[in-house]
Structures are given as structure tokens and as C-alpha cells.
Structure 1
Amino acid sequence: MSRETSPYLLQHAQNPVDWYPWGPEALERARLEDKPILISIGYSSCHWCHVMAHESFENERIAALMNELFVCIKVDREERPDLDHIYMTAVQMLSGHGGWPLTMFLTPTGEPFFGGTYFPPVDRHGMPAFPRVLQGVAQAYREKRDQVRDSVAQLRTGLARSEEPPAEAALAPELAVTAARALARHYDADHGGIGGAPKFPNTMAFSLFLRAWRATGEDRFRQMTVDTLHYMAAGGIYDQLGGGFHRYSVDARWLVPHFEKMLYDNALLVRLALEVQQATGGDAEARRVVEETLAYVTREMTHSDGGFYAAQDADTEGVEGKYFVWTRDEVMAALGSDAGEVVCRFYDVTDEGNFEGKNILHRTVDLPQLARLFTRPVEEVAAVVEDGRRRLLDLRAQRVPPGRDDKILTSWNALMIGAFAEAAKVLDRDDYRIVAERALAFVWNRLRHDGRLLRTFKGGESKLDAYLDDYAFLLNAALDVYEASFDPAHVAQARELADALLARFEDRERGGFFFTSADHEELVHRPKPSFDGSIPSGNAAAAMGLLRLYHFVGDPRFLEAAERTLRCFSGAMQANPFGFAHMIAAADLYQRKPREVVVVARPDDPQRRVLFTRLHREYVPDKIVVAADPTAPPSFPIVEGKMQIDGRATVYVCHSYTCSPPATTWDEIAPLLVTRAR
């Protein structure tokens, strides 16, 4: 284990458990000794993973039992999402629920037969003690092989059936609107979000709401999205001092988070906030969220050469949330009585606290309300709050920080690259474009070998085969960066990734894409996941990226593969809109067709930038923006034949295989971007 690069695996290198990483050595030992395998799957920022490690894996007596009865394998789910997906699905079939730490028992050939999640060291709260589980499983493997074989057979059958989508169905007209209406029935009108506690951001669902608003003009969809973003931004799920979102809220009010910060959550929430910024014509709270979150990522989550780190822990010195919470006395001592009173009221800091006697900072008043409470001008209290925020952030930086998982994952980096690229466009920020370009170059140069992507980079070493998510998310990110930079090399990158998807991941028989490539190591099951989780499904991202790329390059192979994917999951997405929100967004792109916007102007023409800035400010889902230099050969088929008018920057808007006349003023362009459902 000490030779591994995963921070999570290295956390366990000194355990008395004889851990192996997943690989031939462990599997061969299990086969030769005819021992069952105990596989423990988690991730570095997982609070309950740390709890089980402290209670059981650091316990000499329990570790001795594990070593005696099992070959023990430790897996970082973020490095090996294929194993995590297979065995998590198995444990959900066994117990009806899942989560991490994931504790699974396998035959020497890797077939699951029993498992669970967290087990305490002693019988507790109706859960059996881990030592009792270990002894029972080992005894069953020795003495009840028939039952073990039956369990294996049932789970293998279940794994195969778990990803069989419902029968294909014709895509219903207005599918995105119908899905949004179904999801809206579960909206929490009191606090925003979908459903009750625990509450996750569900960014894909709210992005779908904005599509429905754009298609129908029903403002409730937009308002639900705006309100939810505002509730989250005011809550404890958002880091009020440093920016960025924690993973989820344990309550319905967004107050008490699980304190880990994940790269992917922050990427997706930045994208949603940018859509809110566009849909509202400049929501100040949405812009604040974007700028503060990207500042946090740049400050704390960025490698010196440009890639992005994976996560920050929930725990500091073994205490969840310790880094982020405050007492009233601490705030008053740091800021003094006058400013301290203002800041404590703004962030609802009290003597009693709201979390184990301390305070998770959150906002229950806005700045105008705060000004009225203290009978001072808004500008004055705003300056006091901002100065106090910065001083508390500086003071917090002197605390022992939460652990950082500094591995760099291709798929999660792709999501954040896309977020920076989109922010560069919507907010007209060249600094964000530069960050996106550097990160894309990092992934392309460090996490790609002989034309194949790799999954993870840490400590100068890149390794492990990349998965569907890595290819699909990076395809979309490359197109995002093109639209921020207009460097056609990024479309070439997207095309290379799309070719790899079709060659090595596609299920040509039934449509869609497998999670692992055709030449990946053989496992007990080859997953083909389709549901959105905390991140969009790889199949949805592949369909979206292939459709987008088709409209750039005109290669029918990409359109046909996307069509096969949408057909494969057509029944599933209509039966379960919550689990297929991003796939439904891809279907919406397919049904409505994108607005293909071509701007013909010399690169040094100031009006070109003016037009791009105005175009990017508009909420037009699935618009594709292309730059054409009138002095250069056409870069894409869509550019061919499009000329400048009187030497002026000229715009063409094409939709559903028909192009508008050339336009040179915004009054001419704006109506061409609007579609409403009939």
C-alpha cells in the first residue's frame, strides 16, 4: 500500500490490517489460499470511512481477525469507480440501501456474496458488531458453499438485470417540459430544493427547469431555480467566508452540511449559477456565488501546473466541521464589538450556536435588512461585512486545515474546466478562460498516453484506464473551451475523444455506452450506468457531447451514436425523469435542435468581442457559437459560404437546417435566438 498514490489508500498504509490494493497479487493469493476477499471501498473525504477506520481497522484485535479470515483489499472509489459501481449495486440488492464505507465480501474470483456499509466494532443501534460479521461470513464461506454459490448467482443475475433499461419508446414531444412538471411536484416551496432531508443540490433537475422555462415561458420554473440557488447560497451548505459548496445538507433548510467539499459539486453549481445569471439578466447573488466559488477553487484546489484537486475532508483533527464553525466570542474577539455585532447578526452567530454549541455561518437577513436593523446606510454595513469576512477568512487560515485529496481525476477536472470556460463566456472574464485552457492542457498532456486517457494523476504519476465519464465529460469540456477561446484545436480534441468512445465504449448492439472500455480488465460485470447521481451519467454526457460535436463537424457517425443512446434509454428517461435529468436535456437538444450561431469577423475586430459578450449573456440552452475569420479557410462545415456584410462583424443564426439572413445589429440578432413551445 505504501507504493500507492491515492491519499485514501495511503491513509490506511499503516493500519495493522494487511491491506492490498486491487490487483492480481491479492486475487491470486485469495485463489491459492481459497480465502474469501474483504473489499473495503471509500474515499478520503468520507466522514464515516474515517470512523470505521478508527474503530476497526486501527484496532489490533479486529485487524488480526480480518487478516486471519480474509484477503483484505482497500479501494479508492474515486480511482476505481467501476469496482465501486459493481459492488455498490450488489450491496443495494442485498440490503436495500448503500453508502460509504462500502464493505463487501467476495469469492476469490471477485464475485460478491454478502456485504453492507458501516459496521460498528460492537453491537450498536441494531447493527451487528464487525467482528461478529467477519466470523459469520468466514464460517459461511467454509461450511455453506452451496449457499454462497446461490448468493453469487442471484447477485450476478441482479447485476445484469439492474441495467436493463425499460423497453424503448418514442420520445414524447416536449419531453423536457413534461419531465420538469413531474419534478416540480416534489419542489420544497419553503426552502427550495427537491424533497426533504438529507438535501442534495440536484443541479441537473434545476437545469432542466430552466429549459422548461425557456420553452414555455412559465416563470415558476425559473423562480424555483433562482430561489433554490439563493437558499443554498445563504445556507450553511455554502462556505460563507471562503466560497464553495459543501457536499449536501443533513436538514431541509440547507443549514447543517456534511462538510466535505467535492470538486464536482462546485463545478456543477457554478454552471447552474451561470444559467441563473443568464436567465435573470444578471442576478447579483448568482454572480457572487460564481466568483467566490471559482476564487476558492483557484486558491485552494488548483495544482501549480493547472489541474484541479479532487476534494477536501469534512474532518479536522478528527472532528467533523471543526475548521468551519465559530463561537460568538471568537468572532467578537477577532472583529471588536462594533463590527462583531454587525457580522454576528449577518451570519446569525449566537451564544447558543446551531451546531454542537458552535455556529455554522449562514444568512437570515440581506444587506438592506441588516442596514435597517442597525440604522446605518447599506453601503456602510456592506463594507463592515466584507471587511469582517476577509478578516475571519484570514484567521481561519491559521487553523489546522481539513485534509485535501490532491489527486487529479480526469472526469472531475473536465467538469471544472467546463465551469471556468462557461464563466469566462458569461462574465466576459479572460482570466477564467486562461484557467480553463491551462487545466485542459494539463489533462491532455499529463493524463493521456499513446492517444488514450488515464484516470488519475498524483505525485507526478498518471495511471489507470479512463472510464466513460472521463471521455464524455472531457469531450464536452473541450467544446466549452473552444467557445471561450475559438481555438479549433479544441474541437479536434473533442473529435478524438468521440472517436475513442465509439471505438471502445459503445454498445453497438443495443445502443449506449459501457462504463469500461472493451480492453479493460475483465470484471464480474461490465457496467452500463445510465442514472444521474451526484454527477451526470456518462451515457447522458456522451449523448450530449456527440450531439454538440455533430453540429460542429457534421460527421453523421456522432449523430447516429447519440440517437442510438437516446433510443436505448428512451423508456427509462420517460419513466424516471429524476434519474435521467441530464439525458432528458440531451433529448431536448436532439428534439429542438441547437441554435448554431456563426460570427464572421476578423479576430482583431472590436465588434466581434462585443457580439460574443452579448451572445454569451443570453440564456439559450444548446446554442453553439462559432467564430469565422473571413480571411481564413472555413474551420467547420457550418461556416462555409457565410460572408461579411460591408466589412462589418456579421452574425448568422441557423436552426433546424435553415439559416437566417446575415445580421449586423443586436436588434436583428436577438429575435433569432428565441423559441417558444406552441
Structure 2
Amino acid sequence: MERESFEDEEVAALLNEYFVPIKVDREERPDIDNLYMAYCQALTGQGGWPLTVLLTPEQKPFYAGTYFPKQTKYGRIGMIDMLTQIREKWKHERERIVEAGDAIVQRMNEFKAESEPGSFDEEILHRAYQTLASSFDEQYGGFGGAPKFPTPHHLMFLSAYAHTYDQPQALDMVRSTLEHMHRGGIYDHVGFGFARYSTDQQWLVPHFEKMLYDNALLAIAYTDAYSLTSDEQYARVAEEIFTYVLRDMTSPEGAFYSAEDADSEGVEGKFYVFDRDEIEDVLGLEAMHTYCNVYDISPEGNFEGANIPNLIARTISDIAEERDLNELALRTDLEEYRQKLFDYREQRIHPFKDDKVLVSWNGMMIAALARASKRLQKPEYAQAATRAVDFIWQTMFREDGRLMARYREGHVAFPAYVDDYAYLIWGLLELYEATGDSRYIAYATTLKSQLISLFWDEEQGGFYFSGAEGDPLISRTKEIYDGAMPSGNSVAAWVLARLAAMTNDDELRAYAERILDAFAGSVKQYPAGYTMLMLAGMQIMNGTEEIVVSGKVEDMQYQQMLAEVQKAYRPFATLLFNESGVAGEATRKLLPHLQDKQSTSEAMTYICEGFVCHAPVTTLEALTEALQPKRS
């Protein structure tokens, strides 16, 4: 649409003469996008991008749609005809248009008021699981048909559900989806990282755009699967995602860029695909045969005459077994070939990199790196997360202390939205559990206070998307649906419940509970559309487990106990560090309830459930036993 219309002189002339054209970056201004997408869906029964909305000067929408070609064709009105007709109606029937805009706004406000409160209960969790099970693709993993989106929060919910309710089928769905996604072309087998979605059912042909948020949430899903199963392939994929992000999507200051385009040189996927002759030139004949056999590379191609490397037909393990090869040796050879192809591909013209820094998406990647640092015992990931937090804390606050949403080329803009606060708090809590640095709890507490004061709806409960002092739009929206990304309300409920558990703050826990109840009536209609909110509900129902590791930081047993707790899959437990002496004073000042759980001699671990603490565990063997799953 940009090429056909907005860069076309005839369309531009018509737009500029009779309209005030405004192009919105929906990632910088998600408040505007959310608001007018809701109106588009109300007006047309559907939504999507590109989103085209015509407004009165008072910002009230009266006409909306998605894609408009330049000229009318195939039953779809074109931009020229649409703009010409609207111009005439505005000239001769302006009063009717204004009245229509008023009526639309009134109808949408009435619809918003009908968001049903209720009581969030365990039955909603079970219905969410059953709905996902009914739409699960048994052959290729994932949910539903093409196009297929990763929706990693579905997998995070299913992992926690499998663990909590001893439901092996839920874990089977997670494993199948993670394995098939990684084998498909949606995964970049040469440079790593996931594309945004697959255009087909078997994950072969992606929309080649790579988004930071997808890769952050998928890294969490793979890390969780590793913790649950001890299957090294999941750890390997998570580490490869981080290799991609830290190599290609990290600024010199340590913050994370937003996305890479699908196109290069005007052709979608051109950067990522290969023909067989190229591979022979790079690898040589013998290595080419091995690589092409493994990764489905053929003379005729699997995508518009070219090839997307993939493992859909057979895994590397399958091929090693078929050919009676040593699997480790085969993987070593393939890694050598991959590196050569990567070096070759780097010489191509790269897709455009969207180098703006969004706090919300950075919060997700901070959470992913910190969680992987714990579960995989890789301190370098926590160090990368720390750099990103330091950048945000030093750069992305106004002088009055208000968090801002976007940074690019030295310029900070837009008061942060609820998503920015919720995701950044998530990252900070994960980073505290990875490092024990109490300043991250202090940071999270500061953000929590702003979150509540700026966004909370005292009357109905839940958080508005934009702050009370933000740009005056015609309406303040609330988001709860967990689409490509979990909603701010879902993540806020999750992190407030976790922070409440860490700080023993009953009032904070009440906010999290009220979010669940504020939307429960609506959520009950299709709970599988709110899987991050399901995680928040499980956190509130199960999240009274507190694990406190006490002792001297230089003590080997203290470090071993800490590592054992960090590696364990305990999705609703909170980990607190209680270092002896001066080292732990800052933490105990923030968390006074740790005072009676100090250790002056040997390291020990306190496991508290339902606000009752058991006798401290004093050996590594006893701790390992105590961390075994307890089923609901």
C-alpha cells in the first residue's frame, strides 16, 4: 500500500489537497493503534494492518478499512475513488458525517462499559487448556491452520499447567510445537532467530520479518521447556536466539533494537534464501551434498524457485541414524558449513533494521535473558540484561521521573504505556532472581507506584493503556486480549502478584486479584485467548511459595544451593537472596521479613508455602529432593 498509494504522486496530491494525512508508527503510538483498530473492527467486523481510518477534526472516526489499492479492482474500492467520494460527502453532507462519527464513538463507549466483571476461578484455567487442546495441530504443532503464529505465551501457560496439574498432554503440545517451529523455515537456520509467523501450516515459509518480542518470548518458552525436560535441544535453541539478538539486535549502549524487515532490495526473503549453485560455490561439492540433503535444498527450490533451509522432513538425528553416522561429528560438520554460509550471506544487502528502542520490548528481552541466566547458569546473559536496564534507567526517564516509551538516535519520546511498565517490571524481577542485586526490586517498586497512579481505573478495576496525563485521545482503552504479545493488563497482573509475594504486600496482591475479576466475565467466553492472564491467575492461586537462600556469598554450598534453586522449574515460586552480614543489608532493608532467616554459619535454604516456613534445608541433597514437583 505504501508503494501503490502513499508514494504515488496522484494519490499524494489528492490526500494533501483535501485531507490532513497522518502516518502513525503503531509501535511508537500503540495507544492510537489500539483505539482506532477497535473502531475499525466495530465498523467493518474485521481489522488488520495497514489500518486506514478517516476522522473528523475532533478525532472521531467515520470511515475505516485496511488495505486499499490505488484503483478500484476485484470488488475492493481503491484509494482514488474512496478519497474522491469522501471529499464530496464532506463538502455536501458534512453534518451527517459528523453525526455518524458521534454515534460510532457513543456505541463504542457503551460496548466498553459492557466488559464483564466476574470471579476468576480454577475452572477458567482448565477450560483454557481444553480449548487449546481442541485446536492443537497434531501433525505440525501449533494451534489452528495457516497462517500460524508462534504465540509463545500459549506454550508458557501449557508448560506451567503441565507442571502444576501433572498433565503430560499439555507438555506434549509444548514439545511438539517447539520442535516443529525450530525445524521449519520460520527459524533462521543460518543466522538464528525466528521470523514473525509462518504463511503455511508446517512452518516452512515465513513472513521473513524478525521481531524482538517474538524472539524474547520464544527464548522464554524454550528455556522453560529445557527446565521441565532437561532436553538439551531446547537450551541450544534458546542460546541461538540470544546469539542472534546480542549480535544483530543490540545497540552499542546495550539496549535492544525492535525489528528487521522482511524485504531486502525490494524482495521479501531475498536475504535469507539460497539456490543450490550458491551453496556449492561456498561449501564445495561434497559438503554441498551433505548440507543440501539435511536442509532440504534442491535445484527446483522450495520457495519461489529458491530454497529456505529447513529440517521439516527429517531431523539431524534422523539423518545420522539413517546413514549410520556419528551424530556429534555430523553436527560439527554442519556447524562449520553454517558458519561459511553465514559469512557469505553477510555480504548481501541486509534488510532494513528498525533501530528504535522500545521499553516494553526491551523489558521482554531482559526477562528472557535473565530467566535463561538462571535456568542455564549462564551469567553472561544476566550481564547483557543488566546493560539494557542500565541504559533504560539512565536514558529513558524525563526530568520529572516519568518513564518514556521510545528512544532513537539520542531522542526520547512518548510517555510510557502500561505495556512498558508491566514488561519492564517483569524483566527487573527476573533479573533480581538471576543476580540477587536488590536495586532491581527497588526499581520494580518505583515503577509499580507509577503504574498504579497513572493507569489504574478506580471504578472498574484494571489498567488503562495510556496514562492519565497522556495525549488527549477521544477515549482511554484497556487491553486484555493476549494476541501476538500478551496484554499489559495480563502482564501487570502477573508481575504485581510476583512482586507482592516477594515483598509480602497484601495490598499489591489485591490489585492483581482485582485485574482478574475485572475481566473474568469476558475472559470466560474464550479463555484460550488470554493465556498470559491464565498464568497470572495460576500465580495468584499457587504463588505463595517463597524460597530463601541464606549464607555467605563466598561459601561454596551457598552458591550450589542458589544454582539448584535457579535451575529448578518452579513457575510460581519467588527466590530471595539473603546474604549474611553487610552484603545482605540492602536486601533486608527492602524486605524486612528476611531478618529472621539469616544464617551466620552454614548455608541453608528456607522453603515457605502458604505463609508457613518449614525447617531450613541444610544439605544440597535435601534441597534437590525438596524441589521435586508437588502436584495440585
Match for residue 199 of structure 2?
A: 250
Is the aligned partner of 1:284 residue 2:232?
A: yes
What letter matches 2:284 in structure 1? G
Mind listing any 5+ residue stretches in structure 2 that lack a counterpart?
none
Task: String of CA shifts for 1:29-85, please: whole Å, max 9, x gaps.
Answer: xxxxxxxxxxxxxxxxxxxxxxx1111111111111111110111111111000011
Cα shift at 1:162? 4.5
1:152 aligned to which of 85, 101, 118: 101
SS at match of 2:75: coil
The aligned residue for residue 389 of structure 2 is 440
> Once structures 1 and 2 are overlaid, which stretch shifts more, 84-93 or 256-265?
84-93
- CA distance in 2 between counterparts of 1:256 and 1:158 reads 41
Q: Is the 8 A contact 2:551 2:598 kept in 1?
A: no
- Alignment of 1:652 with 2:606, yes or no, is yes
SS of equivalent residue, structure 2 residue 433: helix
What is the aligned counterpart of 2:493 among 500, 520, 543?
A: 543
Matches within 5 A, 1:228-239: 228-239=177-188
The match for 1:309 among 254, 257, 272 is 257
- Once the 2 structures are TM-superposed, how far is the Cα of residue 144 of structure 1 from its aligned partner? 2.2
Q: Give the Å deviation of 1:604.
A: 1.4
Tell me which amino acid in the other structure corresponds to 1:185: S
**Rounded Cα–Cα distance in structure 2 between residues aligned with 1:674 and 1:481:** 24
Q: CA deviation at 1:389?
A: 0.6
Counterpart-to-counterpart distance in 2, 1:560 and 1:96: 36
Find the residue that maps to 1:626 and give its secondary structure.
Answer: strand
Specify the code of the residue in structure 1 equivalent to 2:245.
V
CA distance in 2 between counterparts of 1:57 and 1:141 reads 21
Superimposed CA distance per residue, residues 465-493 of structure 1 (whole angstroms, 9 cap, x where no aligned partner): 11000111111111111111111111000
SS in 1 for 2:596: coil
Aligned residue runs from structure 1 range 351-500, under 5 A: 351-363=299-311, 364-449=313-398, 450-500=400-450
Say if 1:595 and 1:622, in contact at 8 Å, map to a contact too. Answer: yes
2:282 is equivalent to residue 334 of structure 1? yes
What code does the residue aligned with 2:567 have? R
Among 164, 173, 176, the residue aligned to 2:122: 173
Which of 571, 594, 597 matches 1:642? 597
* CA RMSD after TM alignment: 1.6
Contact 2:578 2:598 in 1 (8 A): no
Tell me what 1:616 maps to.
566
Map residues 57-96 of structure 1 onto 2, 5 A cutoff.
57-96=6-45
Counterpart of 2:488, as a letter, is G
| Contact 2:557/2:620 (8 A) holds in 1 | no
- CA offset at residue 578 of structure 1? 2.1
1:573: which partner in 2? 523
Q: Does 1:221 align with 2:170?
A: yes
Question: After the TM superposition, which of the residue ranges 590-599 and 425-434 deviates more from structure 2?
Answer: 590-599
> What is the CA deviation profile of residues 532-555 of structure 1, one whole-angstrom value per residue up to 9, with x for unaligned ones?
121111011111111111112223
Q: Which moved more, 1:181-190 or 1:404-413?
A: 181-190
Q: Which residue is 1:669 aligned to?
A: 623
Which residue of the partner structure matches residue 63 of structure 2? 114
* Displacement after TM superposition at 1:372 (Å): 4.2
Deviates more, 1:566-575 or 1:185-194: 566-575
What residue in structure 2 maps to residue 9 of structure 1? none
Q: Distance in 2 between matches of 1:79 and 1:167?
A: 30
| Contact in 1 for aligned 2:542/2:572 (Cα 8 Å) | no
Distance 1:262 1:328, change over 3 A: same
Give a deviation string over 1:317-356, Cα, whole Å, max 9, x none: 1100100011111111211111101100111011111111
TM-score (norm 1): 0.90
Between the two proteins, what is the percent identity of the paired residues? Answer: 38
Aligned partners of 1:125 and 1:238: how far apart in 2? 35
3-state DSSP of counterpart to 2:607: strand
Shift of 1:613: 1.8
Q: Distance in 2 between matches of 1:388 and 1:402?
A: 23
| Counterpart pick for 2:242 among 286, 294, 301 | 294
Given that 2:464 and 2:477 are in contact with CA atoms closer than 8 Å, whether structure 1 keeps it comes out as yes
Question: Contact 2:419 / 2:465 at 8 angstroms: preserved in 1?
Answer: yes
Contact residue 410 and residue 474 of structure 1 kept, 8 A: yes
Q: Aligned partner of 2:412: which letter?
A: S
Any runs of at least 4 consecutive aligned residues in structure 1 with deviations exceeding 4 A, and if so which?
372-375, 674-678
What is the match of residue 18 of structure 1? Answer: none
Q: Is the 8 A contact 1:235 1:254 kept in 2?
A: yes
Query: Is the Cα contact below 8 Å between 1:370 and 1:381 reproduced in 2?
Result: no
Structure 1 CA distance for aligned equivalents of residues 522 and 544 of structure 2:
24
Quote the Cα distance in structure 2 between the aligned partners of 1:187 and 1:65.
48
Give the distance between the partners of 2:630 and 2:43, measured in 1 at CA: 47
Q: Deviation of residue 147 (structure 1)?
A: 3.3
How far off its partner does 1:208 sit?
Answer: 1.2
Q: How far 1:373 moved relative to its partner?
A: 4.5
CA distance, structure 1, for counterparts of residue 419 and residue 455 of structure 2 = 11
User: Is 1:605–2:560 an aligned residue pair?
Assistant: no
How has the CA–CA distance of structure 1 residues 158 and 353 changed in structure 2, closer, same or farther, with 3 Å as cutoff? farther
Offset of residue 637 of structure 1: 3.2
In structure 2, C-alpha distance between the alignment counterparts of 1:243 and 1:174, rounded to whole Å: 39
| Contact 1:242–1:296 (8 Å) recurs in 2 | yes
Pairwise CA distance, 1:374: 4.3
Counterpart in 2 of 1:198?
Answer: 147
Deviations 1:491-535 (A, max 9, x none): 000000000011111001111010111111211110111111211
Aligned counterparts of 1:304 and 1:165: Cα–Cα separation in 2? 47
Q: How far is 1:572 from its partner?
A: 2.2
- Distance change in 2, residues 1:465/1:337 (3 Å): same
Matched residue, 2:79: 130
| Match runs of 1:620-635 below 5 Å | 620-632=570-582, 633=585, 634-635=588-589
Give the CA deviation at 1:243. Answer: 0.8
Which residue does the alignment assign to 2:472? 522
1:101 & 1:171 partners in 2: Cα distance? 35
CA 161–342 in structure 1, closer or farther in 2 if over 3 Å, else same: farther
What letter matches 2:619 in structure 1? T
Deviation at 1:585, TM superposition (A): 0.9
Indicate yes or no: 2:514 matched with 1:564. Answer: yes
Question: What SS class does the counterpart of residue 470 from structure 2 fall into?
Answer: coil
CA displacement, residues 425-483 of structure 1 (integer Å, 9 cap, x when unaligned): 11111111100000011111111122110010000111111100011111111111111
Residue 102 (structure 1) shift: 1.1
In structure 2, distance between residues paired with 1:594 and 1:465: 34
SS of equivalent residue, structure 2 residue 63: strand
Query: Deviations along 1:357-414, whole A, 9 cap, x unmatched?
Result: 1011111222232234545332332222111111001100000000000000010000
> Conserved in 2, the CA contact under 8 Å of 1:307 and 1:408?
yes
CA distance in 2, matches of 1:183, 1:670: 33
Report SS of the residue matched to 1:212.
Answer: helix
Corresponding position of 1:17: none
SS of aligned partner of 1:652: strand
State the match for 1:28 in structure 2: none
CA distance in 2, matches of 1:385, 1:158: 59
Could you tell me whether the CA contact under 8 Å between 2:124 and 2:527 is conserved in 1? no
Q: Is the 8 A contact 2:434 2:566 kept in 1?
A: no
Alignment match of 2:298 (pick from 350, 358, 364): 350
1:507 is matched with: 457
Aligned length: 625
| 1:323 corresponds to 2:271 | yes
- Equivalent position of 1:184 in the other structure: 133
Q: Name the SS for the 2:549 alignment partner.
A: strand
Separation of aligned partners in 2, 1:390 and 1:571 = 52
Write the letter of the residue equivalent to 2:465.
Answer: F
